[in-house]
Homo-oligomer: A and B are copies of this chain.
């Protein structure tokens, strides 16, 4: 369940577009109006607003936001306004083209491949081809070296059967295969790549349960014992995104806030991409993990329009 709040009566897109256009006009920009419109519209309503805006004013809403806003507020509003597959294709491209391709960057690709529906993943692959004139897996291969490349390509090419079906014989068998590979510290073993990149999330939850029952530890802990490299970290993210995406995103938000300074890109991504999906669960998980409220943490670490916008997506009152 998401945290996005919609008004009881949603105004027609022409009215929303009029308010946005007015917010951009004259000296200064009316950020509050932009938040009050876009921050309370769901995916399909935002799509209609984008289309209507283009028809009415013969210009792109994204371009207007780009020229009128700035900083983290701009980045978060624009990510929220893109069609989700295009948004994720852009996030994946940014990750692949960044100079530093650490866990903070590459986990974006795992989130898209493992914490989304098969339909959404395919839509992202389609959007990626349209935007960048090559496929997502071609860009992974050009920009990420083995063995990570093998894992990521395997994940983005999946089309997981998405009904709630678990075969516990298969789960036990594959838990054993995963255990063998992890014990041998072969984290890019074909069995690991195939199982994590092919089986559906329900089946894999069963496999992870069997793993813990048979071998004593949660699988992600055994993975992390193999070493301290990015391969171990990415595989932990894979397991969490498949098994308990709310834990993964609660951890992304915590890591973005903890210590000196804030990693605004990660904070924005987690809230923008999950506000309509499972932010309620993420908020609960955040509290379980940190014994403090996610909302207070965001309020403490952000400010201004950026804070207001994130809090709006987190369900602050209309």
Contacts and interface: CB of A to CB of B under 8 A. Distances in A.
Contacts of A274: none
Nearest to A125: B159
Interface stretch (A21-29, A58-66, A161-169): A161-169
Contacts of A133: 161, 163, 165
A36 interface: no
Contact of A159 (B157, B163, B194, B200): B157
Contacts of A162: 129
Interface string A130-150: 000111111001000000000
A19 interface: no
A198 interface: yes
B135 A161 contact: yes
A160 interface: yes
A104 interface: no
Interface string A102-139: 00000000000000001100100110010001111110
Interface in A198-248: 198-200
The 9 A-B pairs with the shortest beta carbon distances in the complex, nearest first, are: A157-B157, A129-B161, A125-B159, A135-B161, A122-B122, A134-B161, A137-B198, A135-B159, A138-B198
Interface of A: 118-119, 122, 125-126, 129, 133-138, 141, 157-163, 165, 194, 198-200
18 contacts: A118-B126, A118-B129, A119-B126, A122-B122, A126-B159, A129-B161, A129-B162, A133-B163, A133-B165, A135-B160, A135-B198, A135-B200, A137-B159, A138-B161, A138-B198, A138-B199, A141-B198, A157-B158
Given A133-B163, A138-B198, 18 more contacts: A118-B126, A118-B129, A119-B126, A122-B122, A122-B159, A129-B159, A129-B161, A129-B162, A133-B161, A134-B161, A135-B159, A135-B160, A135-B198, A135-B200, A137-B198, A138-B199, A141-B198, A157-B159
